[in-house]
Every structure is written in C-alpha cells, then in structure tokens.
Structure 1
C-alpha cells in the first residue's frame, strides 16, 4: 500500500503488513498486549465478539491472558458485546486482579474505546490518500453504564498512557479523556444527522449546501439548484439542526454537562456551520460511507449510529421523534439489503450444488 498524507507526503510507499492472515483463528498462536479492532459494526451480520471469538475462549485465556481491546469503531454501544464476552471468559478461568496486574482496575479496563477523526479516500486499489490536519484519535476506558467519571484511576491512566506512547511514536495525534462516551456521542452527531439524510436522499451532503458552479469556474454535479433553494433552507437544514438538538438532549439526560467537558448546546450551530463550510468547496467529492454502502448494496451501520441512540433516549425518557423517523425508514433500506444478500448467498449455494 502507498499512503499519501498532508503530514507525511508520498514517502510511505510500498508498505506491507508484518503478517497477513485470513482469519482471527490463525492469529491465536501468540500473546497480545493490545488488539486493535478497526471494523464497521453491523451486528445483524456479525458481532464484534463473534469476529474475535478465537481470542475470547478459555484455552487462549488460560495460556496467554486477555489483551486490551482498542475499538476503532463508529457508533454507540459498540463495546457492550466484547466487554460481556471478556468478563465471562475471565470469570470462567478465574483470572482477574489476582493473576493479571492490569485486571486490578476499579472499573472495567479490558476495553478502550476511541473516536477516530481521519478523512481518507481509496484513490486506487493500493493507494490511500488522507488528510491529517487537525485529525487524530480520542481514547478512553469503557465503563458500562457510567457516564459522569471525571478522572481516570492510576491503573486506567497507566494503560491509556502506554497506548498513547505507542500511537504517538508512529505520528498519531492522541488525546486521552476520562469519559469516552460523551465524546463518542458528540462525534456520532455528524453521522446521525448527515449520513442518514444523504443515504435516504441518495445524495451527497454538497447537495444541501453547495451553490451552483460559476459558468467559467470549476464544474461539479451536486449542488443546490436555485429553484427550491429557499425550501431547503426553510425545512431541510432546520430539521438537521433539530436532530443535533435531540442528540444533545439525550446527552444531557445521561449527565453530560453543557460545557466543553460535556456536550455544549452550541454544538448544533457549530457542527452545522462546520459541515456547511467544508461542503462549499468545489473540490469536495466526499460522500458519507453509509451512502456508499447503500449504493453498493452493503449492510449499513444503522444500529450503532442511529438505533442505539433511539434506545438510549428511551432508557432516559427523552423524545427523539426525528431520529426515530430516520431509524424507522433506514430499517426498511437495511432490510432490503440484507434480503438481497441472503438471496444471492442462497442462489450461490444452489448453483454450486447444481454444478
């Protein structure tokens, strides 16, 4: 692979992984301190704990112990399944604080969750281009059901500091936070509002904000035609902002304060302006990955990006009618994608039998 970036230029050429293996089962021949999980989360197809099942069993844990899992995944609630599986296997083998010094934390520490802020495009089969200005990772310990922790314990800090050293030695900007769920919900706001609307309209976000091209300037396709531009400004954009406000209300009910340490209420206006500005650029060809998945007939990450926010809202008694509507319609899209994939798989099996 060749990587092109604002930070490193084109000099990362011909990179190859140290080891490339077809399945996780082939990886369980050694001990790991950290396991990074960089996947989309589509539990209707495959859960994270099922992907990692060869690591989450008694024989592996008895021999090597459990690693720290670092989840580089979008959405909310992505940690629950692997957390439960990790605790179950450690309980089965009787290995915890008494056997592993990293198991002595007051809160669950096997799971580090992260917000990944990187913009990238695959511009050729073996060339990745990405923007690194103001990009990086935000990492924190996953604590189920705890949303108001303000400080990492010394044991937690030791894990996160070691992880930060590893990442920053390779040039990755890394920020440690004491409570990761508020950061994940804040990041999820952008996908929740814009990826969903782009997917359901089958249009990129530039169709909401970008003005028509100048006759003598750069020509591009997706933009706001003047004929109904005023209606988009009156109805579409305010509803997107309302999705932000519904999400912030959920965060507030979870105990996230209206401050930079929590989720500020002015994020609704700030995020809207941030996205608007970035999508005015004539060179902007970015499409949300959810839209690309839909166009390519791939399953969507709707459960962790949208569905989990609906369920969180119900648990804390907050009405989110716009988010529920987005979720309800996306469920239809997902249902058809999954049905077509199942039919294709069944047909493939039947064809093989005939041959």
Structure 2
C-alpha cells in the first residue's frame, strides 16, 4: 500500500470517528461534474429569474419540459465526455443512475420536491451573489460546462443562451460596482 493511500485511509477513519459521512472514489472528475450538473442547471436559472426552485415547482408538464431540455443539454455533455454514465452513483444522494433521462428527471424531481416539501427552495450561491450585487462564478459554473460541450462537439443552444445571459448579468453587476466606486471617489 502506498503512502498516499495510507494517509487517505487515516483521514477517512478520523472523519468517520467524528461521525462524518465519507466516501472515496477513483472518479473524482465524475463526482465534480455531477455536482456541476446541479450548479449549472439550477444556479444559472436561479440567478436569471432571481428565485429558488420553489418558483419552478408548480410549472405545468409542458413548461417544465422546456427547463428539462436545458438540463438534458448539460447532462448530455457529461455523458459524451464520459463523466456521467449509466450505473454511476449520483451526487449527492448516492442513488444509482439509470441513464441520461434518469439523471435529468432526478435533477428536476429532487430539487423541486425538496423545495415543495420544505416550503422554501435552497438558494445557490450564484443567486445570493446576484442579490448582494456581487460578481459570481459564471465561468466556473456555466462556462466550464459550455467549454466541455464545445470540446466534445455537443450542441447546446440553451446552455449557450444561458451563458450569454449570465455574462450580461455579470457585466451589469460589475458596471454598477464601478459606478459606486467612482461615486465614492468623487465624494471623498
């Protein structure tokens, strides 16, 4: 057993002794991308509409299908890049994926279901940043998935559209910040 593996096992044992829930994997890129599916899909929409998943929960099947088409583009990127696959354990609930459409439905059902059950939707950090007038991680959250789509030649018109709208929103936030700084400088 190599030293890195021994150190990892020691760290896992320490966390578990403190009642932490720990899983290790050889597929960290896949886990990271599965988390990015949630962030890219939900955080982007939340930032643009300035509301949580609770606002999306009552949508008709026809309207939710439009949102799921956007999700499908993101998930397709993951499958084409080999970062998602049928049979993989899905983040964060550890349910086993039945395939592309299953991941899309899971992403929609899990988040809207939790929002309905709690009566409040989880706010992704992108929405919080927008509400606070702070720049957000457009390149990390949405741009990274778009670049992966381009690398694997996956057609993603909805993702591209969302990315451009987020860039506009980011630009407006930065412009407003510059104006505030200029006003402070003039008033000082």
TM-score (norm 2): 0.82
Does 2:62 correspond to 1:205? no
In structure 1, what is the equivalent of residue 94 of structure 2? none
In structure 2, what is the equivalent of residue 57 of structure 1? none
Contact 2:54 2:116 in 1 (8 A): yes
SS of residue in 2 equivalent to 1:173: coil
In structure 1, what is the equivalent of residue 93 of structure 2? none
How far apart are the structure 2 equivalents of 1:347 and 1:154?
59
Q: Deviations over 1:180-225 (max 9, x none)?
A: 111111111122112211221122211111xxxxxxxxxxxxxx4x
1:272-283 to structure 2, matched below 5 A, reads 272-281=108-117, 283=119
In structure 2, what is the equivalent of residue 164 of structure 1? 12
Contact 2:53 2:121 in 1 (8 A): no
Task: From the CA coordinates, give the structure whose radius of gyration is larger.
Answer: 1
How far apart are the structure 2 equivalents of 1:285 and 1:314?
32
1:343 to partner: Cα distance? 2.9
In structure 2, what is the equivalent of residue 178 of structure 1? 26
Does 2:144 correspond to 1:297? no
User: Measured at CA, do residues 343 and 166 of structure 1 come closer, stay the same or move farther in structure 2, by a change above 3 Å?
Assistant: farther
1:160 to partner: Cα distance? 2.5
How far apart are the structure 2 equivalents of 1:285 and 1:275?
8
Larger displacement relative to structure 2 (295-304 or 239-248): 239-248
How far apart are the structure 2 equivalents of 1:344 and 1:163?
46
1:150-299 to structure 2, matched below 5 A, reads 154-209=2-57, 224=58, 229-230=59-60, 233-235=61-63, 237-256=64-83, 257-260=85-88, 264-265=99-100, 266-281=102-117, 283-284=119-120, 286-299=122-135
Contact 1:194 1:240 in 2 (8 A): no
In structure 2, what is the equivalent of residue 100 of structure 1? none
Q: Deviations over 1:205-258 (max 9, x none)?
A: 11111xxxxxxxxxxxxxx4xxxx54xx313x1132223322222222222332
User: Measured at CA, do residues 349 and 160 of structure 1 come closer, stay the same or move farther in structure 2, by a change above 3 Å?
Assistant: farther
- Structure 1 unpaired stretches of 5+: 1-152, 210-223
How far apart are the structure 1 equivalents of 2:65 and 2:4?
41
User: Measured at CA, do residues 261 and 172 of structure 1 come closer, stay the same or move farther in structure 2, by a change above 3 Å?
Assistant: closer
Structure 1 runs of 4+ off > 4 angstroms? none
Higher relative CO (CA 8 A, sep ≥ 6), structure 1 or 2?
A: 2
The total of aligned residue pairs comes to: 179
User: Measured at CA, do residues 281 and 159 of structure 1 come closer, stay the same or move farther in structure 2, by a change above 3 Å?
Assistant: same
In structure 2, what is the equivalent of residue 341 of structure 1? 177
Contact 2:80 2:152 in 1 (8 A): yes
Q: Deviations over 1:29-57 (max 9, x none)?
A: xxxxxxxxxxxxxxxxxxxxxxxxxxxxx
1:311-330 to structure 2, matched below 5 A, reads 311-330=147-166
How far apart are the structure 2 equivalents of 1:239 and 1:155?
49
How far apart are the structure 1 equivalents of 2:130 and 2:182?
21
